Structure 1
Amino acid sequence: MSKHIKEEGAACAGCGVALQSQSSELPGYLPESAAAREPVICQRCFRITHYNEASSVAIDQDDFLRLLGSIGSTDSLVIHIVDLYDFEGSLISGLQRFVGNNPVLLVVNKIDLLPKGLNMNRIRNWVQRTAKEQGLRTVDVILCSAKRNIGFEHVIEALEKHRKDRDVYVVGATNVGKSTLINRLIRDYSDLERELTTSRYPGTTLDAIYIPLDDGKAVIDTPGIVYTSRMTEVVPRSFLGSLLPDKPIKPLVYQLNEQQTLFLGSLVRFDFVEGERQSFTLYISNALNVHRTKLERADELYSEHKGELLGAPSREELESIPEWTRHSLRVRSGEKQDIFVAGLGWIQANGQSGAQIDVYAPKGVKVLLRPSMI
C-alpha cells in the first residue's frame, strides 16, 4: 500500500471504509495510480460519483451490529434519518434498545416528494404518532429535504439545541438520504472540506465516518441499515431509478368497482375484492406503469404480459425478484387508511364504507394498513 494511503489514515473520504490496494473485489480498493487523488476515495466511490455505478459490497454484519450497539454506552445526540416516502420501511425498529438513554432527533427527509400544498403540521403530527406507536421516543421531529434545501435550517437549530457539547451519531436505513444530509451538515456546521459519497444505491456508506466539528466533537456517520423488507432491496439496482421518485409525486386516482385489479408495473398487484364503488389514490413513482383490469382476468394477464404490457421490471429482471405473497387486508369503514408497501409507496383508500383488499408483493416485502398520512 502506498505511503499516501497511510498518510490519509487508510480510510476512504467518501464511504469511510479502510483503503487497500490488494484486491479490486474487496471494499476499499484503491489503485496505486489513484493514490495521489485529492480527496483519496476508493474505486467504488469514484465510480458512483463519476459514472453512477456501484458494486455490491457490504460490511460484516457483526461489525455493523457492534457499531450500532456501541452508541448506547456513549453520551451523544442521535439523529435518526427516515424517508417520509417510505416511513415504516426506513424506521429502525428497536432503535431505542441500541441508543439507551441518549436523546433521539427524528429527521424526516424527502418531503419534497409529497404533492404540493399539503398541511405540513398535519404530516408532522402523523409522524409523531406513528413513531411513538413504533416505540421511538424523540426530543423533536424535523421535516426537511436535504436535496432541495427545504427546512434544513430547522435541522441545524434542533442540532444546536439538543447537542449540548456532545458527539452526534447519524443513523438510518439505506437510501434515506443520510449522506446528502450529512454533506449539508459539513458545509453548514464544520470547516472541514469534504463530501461523502451520495448515490441512489443502497449501502453507499460502508463504515463509520468521523467528521470533526469546530468544538472538538464529531458527527459520526454510520452505515445504512439494510432492510430486505423494502422493495428497494429486492429489485435489480438498474431498476431503482424507476422505483425511487426524484420529484414531487403526482397522485393517481382510480374509481374502482369491486372485483377490479390494478397492476403497479409488474411489481405489485392490487385487488379490490369486495366493497362499494370507491376511489383509491396511488402515491407511487410516476415512472411506474399502472394497468387496470377485471380480477377474473388478472392471473392470465400477468402470466402473458408481465414485463411487457404491464410495464417494468422486464421478464428477465423479474427472475431475480422473489415470487409474490398475498396479503389480505380489511379497510375499516368510516376511516381513511393507506395500504403501504415498503420501498414502493402507498395507496390511500378514500371510501367510507370499508373494503376487502388483496395485495400481491414479492415475498418478504412489508405490506401493512395504516391511518392515512394525507
Structure 2
Amino acid sequence: MASACPRPLFLSFPKSPAPPLAVPSKHHPSATASLSVSTRARAASSSAPSPSPSPSPPADGVGPAAPTRGDVYLGRQLAAAAAAGARARAPEEDAERRRRRKEKRKALAKKTPSGVACCYGCGAPLHTGEEGSPGHVEPATYDLKKRHNQLKTVLCGRCKLLSHGHMVTAVGGHGGYPGGKQFVSAEELREKLSYLRHEKALIVKLVDIVDFNGSFLSRIRDFAGANPIVLVITKVDLLPRDTDLNCIGDWVVESVVRKKLNVLSVHLTSSKSLVGITGVISEIQQEKKARDVYILGSANVGKSAFISAMLKTMAYKDPVAAAAQKYKPIQSAVPGTTLGPIQIEAFLGGGKLYDTPGVHLHHRQAAVIHADDLPSLAPQSRLKGRCFPNIMLCSG
C-alpha cells in the first residue's frame, strides 16, 4: 500500500490593510484651515501692487540743461573770490583778537592783587612810608597786626581823620579837587576800574537825585562793559515832603531811555531813612547769580552810605552781613574818600560786594571849589520847592 506523501503546509500571512485615503471633508478643521490659507494667499497675491514701470528717459529737448562752460567758469571765480576774502579777513580778525586779549591782560594787571592788605575804610594799600598819605599806618601797629594776621582790620590814619570830620583830600588832576595834598589823580582812579568790563559781575549804578544829570555817568559802559546794571537813585529823602515819587520814577525812566542806557530796574532809595533799600537787596539777590556785585557811581554820590544801609538791612536775616558791619567803608563829605576797590563779605550764598572809587567829573561843582567849602554843597535837610510865575502870562 503506497504511503501518501505529506502535503506541504503553506502559511499565509495577512497583508496589512492599506491606510484609508484621506478625503477632505467640509466638516474637518484641517480642511477649513487649508482652504482659508489658500484663500488668503490668493487674496494677497491679487491685492499686491503691481511693480511700477521703470521711468522712461525724457524725450529729446526735455529736462534740466547742462551747465555751460561759462557757468562753470563763473562758479569757480566766485568760489576763488570768497576764499580770497576769507584769507584776507583772517589776519584782521586775528589782530583784533590779539588786541582784545592784550587789552584784557593790561586791565586785569591793574586789579589790586588779593594778597595785598588794604585799609578797610578807603581801600588804599597799607604801608609804613610817608606819613599822612592814604593807607599809612604806624610801624608798630602794622607789625603787630601782621604778626596776628589782622591787617584786614586796620584803619589808616587818613580814614581816622575823615571819620572825625576832617576834610582831607587826596585826589587831584583832571576832575580832582584843589586844596590839600594830592596823592592820586582822577585818571588813575578811572584806570583802577578798567578791569570791570572783563569781569562777570552785577553792576549797581548810583545816581544822586539832587544832581541827576551831573552824576549820571552817561559812559558807564566804559567801566561796566556788557554786565547787567541796576540803577539806584539815592538821597530821595532830600526831596520836598509833597513830592510824588511815582512821578519821579516815571521821569527817571524816561531820562534813562533818552540816554539810551539799558538797565534791569530802577529804584528810588534813601540811605538815611532806608527807603527802598529792601527792594534793591531783593533785586540783587535775584540777579547776581553767584556773581560779585560792584557799586559804581560818580564821586560823592553816596556809595559808602548805600553799602552801610544795605548791610544794616541785611543784618536781620544774614549773619555774614551782620559781621561785615564792623568793618565797613568810611563815609565822608569829601569826594574821593574811597581810593580803591573794597571787598566786603556780605552775602551768605556766595559772591562778594565791592565798594569802588568814585568817578571824578570835572564839570561838577565839587571839582572846582576849595576843600574847606565842600560841606556847604551837601544839603542837610529837605529841599523846598518854589514855583515861579510865567513871565509871558504876567506880561500879557
**TM-score higher than 0.5:** yes
Q: 2:328 maps to what in 1?
A: 195
SS across alignment from 1:55? coil
Alignment equivalent of 2:126, drawn from 16, 19, 42: 19
Question: Could you tell me whether the CA contact under 8 Å between 1:186 and 1:194 is conserved in 2?
Answer: no
Alignment equivalent of 1:48, drawn from 162, 172, 185: 162
Q: 2:272 maps to what in 1?
A: 147
Under a length normalisation based on structure 2, what TM-score does the superposition of the two structures give? 0.60
Range moving further from structure 2, 200-209 or 31-40: 31-40
How far apart, CA to CA, are the structure 1 residues paired with 2:304 and 2:356? 10
How far apart, CA to CA, are the structure 1 residues paired with 2:159 and 2:337? 8
Cα 1:51/1:200, change in 2 over 3 Å: closer
- AA aligned opposite 2:330: T
Question: Could you tell me whether the CA contact under 8 Å between 1:81 and 1:178 is conserved in 2?
Answer: yes
Q: 1:240 maps to what in 2?
A: 374
Aligned-pair CA distance for 1:63? 4.2
Unaligned runs of 5+ in 1: 1-7, 258-274, 279-352, 354-374
- AA aligned opposite 2:226: N
SS across alignment from 1:171? strand
Alignment equivalent of 1:77, drawn from 197, 202, 205: 202
How far apart, CA to CA, are the structure 2 residues paired with 1:76 and 1:56? 28
Q: 2:286 maps to what in 1?
A: 161
How far apart, CA to CA, are the structure 2 residues paired with 1:62 and 1:115? 36
Question: Could you tell me whether the CA contact under 8 Å between 1:81 and 1:106 is conserved in 2?
Answer: yes
Range moving further from structure 2, 55-64 or 93-102: 55-64
How far apart, CA to CA, are the structure 2 residues paired with 1:72 and 1:145? 28
How far apart, CA to CA, are the structure 1 residues paired with 2:387 and 2:166? 34
Q: 1:182 maps to what in 2?
A: 307
Question: Could you tell me whether the CA contact under 8 Å between 1:96 and 1:137 is conserved in 2?
Answer: no
SS across alignment from 1:145? coil
How far apart, CA to CA, are the structure 1 residues paired with 2:165 and 2:225? 40
Aligned-pair CA distance for 1:232? 1.8
Aligned-pair CA distance for 1:82? 0.8
Q: 1:30 maps to what in 2?
A: 137
Question: Could you tell me whether the CA contact under 8 Å between 2:123 and 2:342 is conserved in 1?
Answer: yes
User: What is the CA deviation profile of residues 90-123 of structure 1, one whole-angstrom value per residue up to 9, with x for unaligned ones?
Assistant: 1112112432221100010000010012211110
Q: 1:250 maps to what in 2?
A: 384
Higher helix share: 2
How far apart, CA to CA, are the structure 1 residues paired with 2:272 and 2:364? 22
- AA aligned opposite 1:205: T
Q: Percent identity?
A: 31
- AA aligned opposite 2:138: P
User: Does residue 101 of structure 1 match 2:226?
Assistant: yes
Aligned-pair CA distance for 1:141? 0.3
Cα 1:26/1:241, change in 2 over 3 Å: closer
Cα 1:121/1:56, change in 2 over 3 Å: same
Q: 1:171 maps to what in 2?
A: 296
How far apart, CA to CA, are the structure 2 residues paired with 1:60 and 1:245? 27
Q: After the TM superposition, which segments of 4 or more aligned residues of structure 1 sit over 4 Å from their partners?
A: 33-38, 60-63, 253-257
Aligned-pair CA distance for 1:256? 8.0
Under a length normalisation based on structure 1, what TM-score does the superposition of the two structures give? 0.63
Cα 1:239/1:277, change in 2 over 3 Å: farther
- AA aligned opposite 1:29: H
**Which one has the largest radius of gyration?**
2
How far apart, CA to CA, are the structure 2 residues paired with 1:18 and 1:157? 33
What's the C-alpha RMSD, in Å, of the aligned pairs?
2.5
SS across alignment from 2:210? helix
Cα 1:248/1:33, change in 2 over 3 Å: farther
- AA aligned opposite 1:104: I
Range moving further from structure 2, 37-46 or 140-149: 37-46
Question: Could you tell me whether the CA contact under 8 Å between 1:59 and 1:207 is conserved in 2?
Answer: no
How far apart, CA to CA, are the structure 2 residues paired with 1:277 and 1:62? 50
Higher strand share: 1
Question: Could you tell me whether the CA contact under 8 Å between 1:94 and 1:135 is conserved in 2?
Answer: no
How far apart, CA to CA, are the structure 2 residues paired with 1:220 and 1:153? 18
Q: 1:305 maps to what in 2?
A: none
SS across alignment from 1:82? strand
How far apart, CA to CA, are the structure 1 residues paired with 2:332 and 2:194? 26
